[in-house]
Each structure stands twice: as C-alpha cells, then as structure tokens.
C-alpha cells in the first residue's frame, strides 16, 4: 500500500465532505481544490487542503430560499411560528432588526431585490413579510455568518481550509473526518 492517499482519493473525499454541508451543496460550486500539506499521524494520514467555493446565488436569493423553507415548515409545524416570534423579540433587543432593515433599504434603492421576494412581498402583509425575512436572515447569520455576509453576490469566491483524516484499510485509504 502507498504511504499516502492518492490525489484522486484526497479530492474525492474532499468533494464529498464539502458537499455534505447544505450551504455549500446548494449555494456554492467548487472552483478549485488544492492540497497544501500532508503528514502521517499515528495510524492515520492528515491532509490540509483549501477549497475555493464560488457562490451560485447572492445573499437575497439565499434568503428567499430560506424563507420558502420556513413557510413550508410552518404549515406542518406550529412551533416554527412560536420560535420565530421569540427569536424576533431577542433580535429586536440586539439591534439586528435595524441592521437588516438598513441593508434591505439599500437593496431596494439599488433595485436589487430578486423577483421571488418581490412576489412574496406583494402576497403578504408588510408585517408578516418583514418577520419572515428577519427570521430568515437570523437563521442564515446564526448558521453561516462566520462564512458569508449580507454582501455576498453571485460569483463571489470563498476560500475554506480543511484538514482531512484518512485511515489505511485493506482496500486502500479511506477518508473519515473533515474539519
């Protein structure tokens, strides 16, 4: 057996690992993978690698999709509305509501609001629409705020660094952990 995983084994596991994150799978494509370094550690082989991820959508398209998912969940799960209400109260106290309102106003001035959001806005009361958008923004910021921000545009690229762990098995190297 080889002393290190092959480039194809490394890339296959790297792609699989990245694609397991909903954000990356649904909203980013892998533009480039690069092996930065590798080393043997105890019974495993560690590889540090970088991925350049290209955004398939901008922040507002991402919000529109999250809002769709929330609306779908709310139809079958009554706790979604209650959770949203409590979250929006906390968000109001932290000042994030104002930050998002300012962002939204800027996007409206630029006429950058995607058609699906404009259609949704026309079909809902102003209060319901704002609550849904505020809660969608909160979910995105809580889950992905360390990775993306509200200025994300389609085509933007992010570089993410990972360390992948491999074990040598009877059938060759197998990836088992990505961090």
Residues 68 and 113 in one domain: yes
**Distance from the Cα of residue 109 to its chain's centroid:** 26
Residues 71 and 136 in one domain: yes
Tokens of 55: 């955004």
What is the pLDDT at residue 76?
A: 79
Residues 51 and 72 in one domain: no
Angle at 23 between CA 17 and CA 29, to 5 degrees: 70
Contact between 59 and 150 (Cβ < 8 Å):
yes
Report which of residues 43 and 80 the model is more confident about.
43
Over the stretch 51-71, which tens digit does the pLDDT of each residue have?
Answer: 999 999 999 999 999 999 888
Over the stretch 89-140, which tens digit does the pLDDT of each residue have?
Answer: 777 777 788 899 999 999 999 999 999 999 999 999 998 898 889 989 998 9
Is residue 1 over pLDDT 50?
A: no
CA distance 153 to 162: 23
Residues 15 and 46 in one domain: yes
The answer to whether residue 150 is domain-embedded is no
Residues 161 and 132 in one domain: no
Q: In the chain, how many domains are there?
A: 2
The answer to whether residue 33 is domain-embedded is yes
The answer to whether residue 140 is domain-embedded is yes
CA distance 140 to 39: 35
Residues 51 and 103 in one domain: no
- Give the DSSP H/E element, type plus range, for residue 156: none
The answer to whether residue 108 is domain-embedded is yes
Percentage helix, strand, coil for the chain under 3-state DSSP, each rounded to 5: 55, 25, 20
Arithmetic mean of pLDDT over the chain = 89
What is the pLDDT at residue 20?
A: 85
Residues 172 and 118 in one domain: no
The answer to whether residue 164 is domain-embedded is yes
Residues 64 and 135 in one domain: yes
Residues 13 and 46 in one domain: yes
CA distance 64 to 25: 17
Residues 67 and 140 in one domain: yes
Domain range for residue 25?
A: 7-56+155-177
Residues 72 and 133 in one domain: yes
Tokens of 65: 């999709």
């Amino acid at each position: 057996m080889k002393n290190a995983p092959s480039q194809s084994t490394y890339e296959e596991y790297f792609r699989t690992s990245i694609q397991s994150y909903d954000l990356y799978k649904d909203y980013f494509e892998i533009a480039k993978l690069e092996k930065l370094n590798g080393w043997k550690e105890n019974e495993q082989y560690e590889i540090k690698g970088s991925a350049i991820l290209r955004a398939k959508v901008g922040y507002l398209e991402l919000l529109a999709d999250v809002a769709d998912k929330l609306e779908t969940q709310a139809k079958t799960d009554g706790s979604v509305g209650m959770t949203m209400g409590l979250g929006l109260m906390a968000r109001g106290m932290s000042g994030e509501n104002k930050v998002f309102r300012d962002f939204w106003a800027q996007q409206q001035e630029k006429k950058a609001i995607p058609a699906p959001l404009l259609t949704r806005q026309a079909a809902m009361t102003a209060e319901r629409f704002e609550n849904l958008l505020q809660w969608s923004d909160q979910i995105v910021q809580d889950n992905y705020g360390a990775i993306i921000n509200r200025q994300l545009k389609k085509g933007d690229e992010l570089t993410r660094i990972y360390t992948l762990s491999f074990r040598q098995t009877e059938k060759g190297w197998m990836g088992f952990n990505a961090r």
